[in-house]
Amino acid sequence: MSMSKSSSAYLYIFYYHFLTILAYPYELLITVIEPAAEIGFLVLFWGMVARGSSHPIDLISMVAYFIMVQFVSIWSLNPGGLNFSNYIGYRIKSGILSQSLIRPIRTLPALLFEHRGYFFVDMIFSVILLALAIKLLGGIELNQLVMFIVFSILSCIITFSLCVLIGSLAFITKEISSIRHSVSHLVRILSGAMVPLNFFPEGIRHWLSITPFPSMVFVPISVLQNKLPPTVLLFNFKVALFWSFLLLGAALLIWQRNMKKYEANGI
């Protein structure tokens, strides 16, 4: 199949799954309320932290940070929840994966576009949230936005790779939800999704900086907040790029090896 034909096939998959969400417009409203409630509780909590802190904590900046966590989470396949791995795992366990295999398209991108289709409304709403966060920050420059997009893409690749690696375990163990939970708990705390990494002691931050975790949430947000000096920014870029290549390569290799052993049923 030609490149343009396969691209339109993926877009069609995306569109089709988006339409299934539109079948329940009432549910869409909740998609808006849920992150608002999450942010509301975070504001309450961090307000308490700011009041009890011996050094000043800028509450507005914290609110902007957690709004941006919402944006990065939704656009980068939810690093804190690794939901895409569950999506893959469930398809392998239940045998639904066979439906994707009989289509004349590549399976992983197809699954990715299906998943994104389901979350398209969340993605749109998160752009509004991002605009709100930028307003709270007092605006940003174009180069910050460009770098933010670049780092968000790398974050997305790392999260996608982790999800495929965890999801692929379903070929062996069938049930992967607890493994996903274990990894996502780690990612949530070490990526900065739960608490900004600048709250961590210096020594821990130093060791964390060479792992893939900060690149998943903290670094993209820090780029947008313009909090990283150029040398640190370059170092973070190299680290994110290294992990993106390494994890993506490992994920694709493991996926392909397992696919060869997969016993499809229902075809």
Binding site for other proteins (CB under 8 A): 23-24, 26-28, 30-31, 33-34, 37-38, 41, 44-45, 47-49, 51-55, 57, 173-175, 177-179, 181-182, 185-186, 188-189, 194-195, 199-201
At its nearest, how many Å lie between other proteins and the CB of residue 47?
Answer: 8
CA angle, residues 210, 249, 143, in degrees to nearest 5 = 55
179 phi and psi angles, rounded to 5 deg:
-65, -45
Specify the residue, 93 or 106, whose C-beta has the smaller distance to other proteins: 93
Specify the residue, 135 or 181, whose C-beta has the smaller distance to other proteins: 181
Specify the residue, 194 or 233, whose C-beta has the smaller distance to other proteins: 194
Specify the residue, 27 or 58, whose C-beta has the smaller distance to other proteins: 27
Q: What are the tokens at 53?
A: 């802190």
DSSP 199: G
Query: 81: Cβ–Cβ under 8 A, 6 or more apart, which residues?
Result: 73, 184
At its nearest, how many Å lie between other proteins and the CB of residue 192?
Answer: 11
Query: 165: Cβ–Cβ under 8 A, 6 or more apart, which residues?
Result: 85, 247, 250, 251, 254
Please name which of 93, 83, 224 lies closest in space to residue 159, comparing C-alpha atoms: 83
- Between CA 219 and CA 158 the distance in angstroms is 13
At its nearest, how many Å lie between other proteins and the CB of residue 8?
Answer: 29
At its nearest, how many Å lie between other proteins and the CB of residue 173?
Answer: 6
At its nearest, how many Å lie between other proteins and the CB of residue 203?
Answer: 12
Please name which of 244, 236, 184 lies closest in space to residue 214, comparing C-alpha atoms: 236
Specify the residue, 16 or 45, whose C-beta has the smaller distance to other proteins: 45
